[in-house]
Amino acid sequence: EQTPGVVFRIEEKLEIAKRYLLPRQEKENGLREKELILGDKGLLSLIQEYTREAGVRQIERELGKLARKVARKIAAGETQSIKATKKIIRELMGRPRVHPERMALVDTVGVATGMFYTPMGGDIMFVEVSTMSGKGGLVLTGQLGDVMKESGRAALSFAKSNHQQLGIPADSLKGKEIHIHVPAGAVPKDGPSAGITMATALISTLCGHKVRKDIAMTGELTLTGRVLPIGGVKEKLLGAVRAGIHTIIIPKANEVDLEDLKEEVRKKITVHLV
């Protein structure tokens, strides 16, 4: 996995946009004070639904588009000012272009929540596992890279070799084909950090136990059950919090990375080290 650069939290983006980006775009597009009224809710809507990035450049571009559309309406005499609510922003900017993942609605057998890092920041992902009649094969889908596919194979080997300790019925894999799928197939995914998520979803399917929807996890899993450290912990945790998840499982070796989080974020989450 790549080492992340600077990633702003949503609260930080909101403050930067309010203090610097919006005033600059109002000035550049000839808008006077009070001609564009954009409160926190409207601005947050624009950030979350029209941009997906680690920094703030795209936010400024979208604010520029909004300011130009407002300026044209005022110049045309259609209005003297516009209060840009979430509804008005959609009318001016079109339908939202970003649809971030949110915490699952219910606890489900065979579905676990993982976390991943991209240059746009952290986010959550779901790992789904199902079994069907077959010759004992393993199918991996969701545009997964080679390393992530290896994580799926390692998770299966771990479950098989430890089936007694894990409470997996000995005959649960006989004559069964296993399918591991990571949704959002248009997005390439790779890296070893989904190991424990894949293992959790797999064991859940084989045991018939539901996985809690309010827990997200990340960590590389070895064949002997060790959980190895991974990268991008800060960004992944921020992505989980943004998705509404506050209980997190990370490798014990990544405990030091929690120091990168602001105190206000650390107070919101419960972290389990494994």
Coarse DSSP helix, strand, coil percentages of the chain, rounded to the nearest 5 percent: 40, 20, 40
- Strands 220-221 and 247-250 come out as unpaired
Residue-wise pLDDT tens digits, 53-70: 878 999 999 999 999 999
Among the listed residues 151, 193, 204, 234, the single catalytic one is 193
Among the listed residues 13, 189, 234, 236, the single catalytic one is 236
Residue 39 lies in a domain: yes
Q: How far is CA 245 from CA 44, 115, 168, 260, in A?
A: 19, 11, 28, 19
Note whether 113 and 82 are same-domain residues: no
87 part of the active site: no
CATH classification of the domain holding 117? 3.30.230.10
Note whether 124 and 77 are same-domain residues: no
Where does a domain end: 93, 120, 139?
Answer: 93
Note whether 112 and 75 are same-domain residues: no
Note whether 42 and 143 are same-domain residues: no
- Residue 2's pLDDT band, with cuts at 50, 70 and 90, is very low
% of the chain with per-residue pLDDT over 90: 74
Residue 264 pLDDT exceeds 70: yes
Note whether 201 and 125 are same-domain residues: yes
Residues 6+ apart with CB under 8 A from 163: 169, 170, 172, 173, 206
Average pLDDT over residues 253-264: 93
**Residues spanned by the domain of 68:** 10-93
Note whether 219 and 258 are same-domain residues: yes
Residue-wise pLDDT tens digits, 150-169: 999 999 999 999 999 999 98
Residue 100 pLDDT exceeds 80: no
Q: Which residue has the higher pLDDT, 253 or 123?
A: 253
Is residue 205 within 8 Å of residue 131, measured between CB atoms?
yes
Note whether 120 and 219 are same-domain residues: yes
CATH classification of the domain holding 43? 1.10.8.60
Residue 103 lies in a domain: no
Q: How far is CA 31 from CA 73, 75, 110, in A?
A: 11, 10, 53
Give the C-alpha separation, 72 to 51, whole Å.
Answer: 23
- Residue 48's pLDDT band, with cuts at 50, 70 and 90, is confident
Residue 245 lies in a domain: yes
Residue 195 has a CB neighbour count (10 Å cut-off) of: 28
Q: How many domains does the chain have?
A: 2
Residue-wise pLDDT tens digits, 228-253: 999 989 989 988 998 999 999 999 99
The CA R_g of the chain, rounded to the nearest whole Å, is 22
236 part of the active site: yes
% of the chain with per-residue pLDDT over 70: 96
Note whether 43 and 160 are same-domain residues: no
Highest mean pLDDT among 156-170, 178-192, 211-225: 211-225
Q: Which residue has the higher pLDDT, 68 or 5?
A: 68
Length of the chain: 274
Where does a domain end: 60, 93, 126?
Answer: 93
Note whether 128 and 256 are same-domain residues: yes
| Mean pLDDT, all residues of the chain | 91
Residue 3 lies in a domain: no
Could you tell me the sign of the dihedral formed by the alpha carbons of 145, 146, 150, 156, in that order? Answer: positive
Is residue 258 within 8 Å of residue 271, measured between CB atoms?
yes
Residue 51 lies in a domain: yes
At 77 the three-state DSSP class reads coil
Note whether 153 and 29 are same-domain residues: no
Note whether 143 and 185 are same-domain residues: yes
Residue 2 lies in a domain: no
Is residue 27 within 8 Å of residue 33, measured between CB atoms?
no
Note whether 130 and 227 are same-domain residues: yes
- pTM to 2 decimals? 0.78
Residue 210 lies in a domain: yes
At 176 the three-state DSSP class reads strand
Where does a domain end: 93, 122, 147?
Answer: 93
pLDDT at 207: 93
pLDDT at 122: 81
Residue 267 lies in a domain: yes
Is residue 21 within 8 Å of residue 56, measured between CB atoms?
yes
pLDDT at 186: 67
Give the C-alpha separation, 27 to 48, whole Å.
Answer: 24
